[in-house]
Amino acid sequence: MRRLRPLLIFGTRPEAIKMAPVVHECLRRADSIEPIVCLTGQHREMLAQVTDYFGLSADLDLALMQPNQTLAELTARCFQGIDSALARFNPDCVVAQGDTTTVMVAALAAFYRRLPFVHVEAGLRTGNLQAPWPEEMNRRVASIVTTVHCAPTTRSADNLRAEHVPEQQIFVTGNTVIDALLWAVERERAGAARWQDKYARLGNGRVVLITGHRRENFGQGFQDICRAIATLADQFPDVQFLYPVHLNPNVQEPVRALLGNKPNVHLTEPAPYPEFVWLMDRSTLILTDSGGVQEEAPSLHKPILVMRETTERPEALDAGAVELVGTNVERIVESVSRLLTDKQEYARRQLDVNPYGDGQAARRIVDIMLQQGWNQ
């Protein structure tokens, strides 16, 4: 039997982080699998940071990102680039992770060429096509044509069953982001001195780490988020608020206008993955609209306040590590204040077991791929 030849496609920083363990697991089993790595370049500079950190080399880089392109333009370029890659490499299957434009197009392009599609992190749902937008649509479309659904949790698997996905196509694997995080945090703790020097201004006190970038919060949403942070900075002058600010002007403008003059609010450039892992580990709590952070932070015993009205990751919400606060000024201020002043509440939000995985997801996913017989 010849080696399995999967085409692994990713294009954004979060995808690269979550696909890196799968690529490495494939390379570890070089006697039975020959991975082909294709980058779409949906996030250009941030993607390069992650691929360098994990030592990933691409067989093909489509370099699709163009300044100010629309989603429709990106989608069209993705179709052309990915279909050309499939024609060139003729893989046995296609593998992609999550809910980006890259994933949705990869799934459809594989379907058009009658190739099996493996969806890593399958089955996440909010039930609302507008939130997160356009990710909820992307993952639903991908699921329709997926051959193997690698669900991170039993809840995600149940979402797929509710959509009448055949049981034999659903596998609960855990989330590969935990595989990546556990490797990275061990490495960054060992080399913490460089980050401690860089962030000496934070001192030894409490730190609230903030991230925000979602399209649905552009405009009034980000203005309200910034007003809440400004209020908190005034109320807790001994707490440092660290905000690596996304490069999108829709984020930069309100953040710098409303928070730029607060002495205990530190606005920085977006942090590369290893630096951000250290910052999560260093923080007291995290205020975010990120999906990946909701999965990672419980492994570091950090409470998370999510600036969204819905989440497709309800497991940590049910366990108590996550609270949805939306973009409402009063809700954000009240919830952050409670965690900074109530030790019992803070301790209740710290999980001993992360519901999203145990660090073995990539091994399970590659096992499943090899069991399908696509290389016969």
* Catalytic site residue from 25, 92, 121, 296: 121
Does 164 qualify as catalytic in the annotation? no
The token pair that represents 9 in the structure block: 């496609």
The token pair that represents 348 in the structure block: 């209740």
Q: Are 49 and 271 in contact (CB under 8 A)?
A: no
Question: Which one-letter amino acid corresponds to residue 371?
Answer: Q
* Catalytic site residue from 246, 313, 349, 364: 246
Does 246 qualify as catalytic in the annotation? yes
* Catalytic site residue from 44, 113, 213, 338: 213
* Catalytic site residue from 135, 188, 224, 275: 135
Give the distance from CA 34 to its chain's centroid. Answer: 26
SS3 170: strand
Token pair 């090899």 is found at 370
Does 215 qualify as catalytic in the annotation? yes
Does 213 qualify as catalytic in the annotation? yes
Strand stretches in 22-80, DSSP E: 36-39, 60-61
The token pair that represents 129 in the structure block: 């096509």
Closest CA to 122 of 108, 103, 101, 105: 103
Alpha helices per DSSP H over 153-219: 154-162, 176-190, 192-198
Does 167 qualify as catalytic in the annotation? no
* Catalytic site residue from 29, 215, 301, 338: 215
Q: Which residues are catalytic?
A: 99, 121, 135, 213, 215, 246
